[in-house]
Amino acid sequence: MQPSALPDLPDLAHTRTSPVHWLATATAMAGVVAIAGFLTPDPATASQGAKPVAAAAPDTAAVTFPLECGSVGSVVTRKATGDLDGDGSPETVAAVSCNAGSGTPPSGIYVVIQPHGKGGTPRVVATLLAPASRRTVGALAVREGAVTATLLGYSSPDVPRWKPDVQERAKWRWQGGKFVRSVPSQARSV
């Protein structure tokens, strides 16, 4: 047999591992990963394919409703939101009555929009039901671009004002630049 051509090497310290070596290696790797994190490019800012941010529905607390209540003020009794005109921005529909404290004061139903641009104050753009109709809103919803409401009223002046005895369903939809009541009133006893 031929002896090895390699000379005998002394036992080197770096050829044996110990916990200190593993700790040093892990620390070095963590440093490389951290530095790589700082050197990544900024995120892309192209708008192609980006989904628009949904606008917030108008807040009724910032609105003065066209309702004369004197010193008692008005109160929003029901509200619903949805895109009524197909522009991608939600509108708020609010049932508002005087804050009488007792009885069932008549309601108005109003459509509120949030104007585009910064600092725009929400405002009423349509009255679907005037308080002069002497109806109270029992239910209010926005579904598939239409406003639906259950309206409560009285069959005669002899009916107590705290106990409506007539109920009707109403529906409004944005058509031709205005809200059209698309379901005729069908009064029935409660």
C-alpha 64/C-alpha 127 separation (Å) is: 13
- Please give the pLDDT value at position 40: 53
Q: Where does the pLDDT of residue 70 fall: very low under 50, low under 70, confident under 90, or very high at 90 and above?
A: confident
Instruction: Supply the pLDDT for residue 16.
Output: 63
pLDDT of residue 47: 46
| Domain assignment of residue 139, yes or no | yes
Confirm whether 112 is domain-assigned. yes
Q: Say if 52 falls within a structural domain.
A: no
Range of the domain at 172: 60-189
- Dihedral sign, CA of 134, 136, 142, 144? negative
Side chain identity, residue 82: G
Confidence of residue 181 (pLDDT cuts 50, 70, 90): very high
- State how far the Cα of 10 lies from the Cα of 83, in Å rounded to an integer: 82
User: Is residue 122 situated within a structural domain?
Assistant: yes
Query: Among candidates 111, 45, 121, 124, which has minimal Cα distance to 80?
Result: 111
Give residue 35's pLDDT band: very low, low, confident or very high (50, 70, 90): low
The reported pLDDT for the residue numbered 180 is 93
In a domain, 163, yes or no: yes
Count of domains for the chain = 1
Average pLDDT over residues 51-60: 72
Q: What is the pTM of this model?
A: 0.67
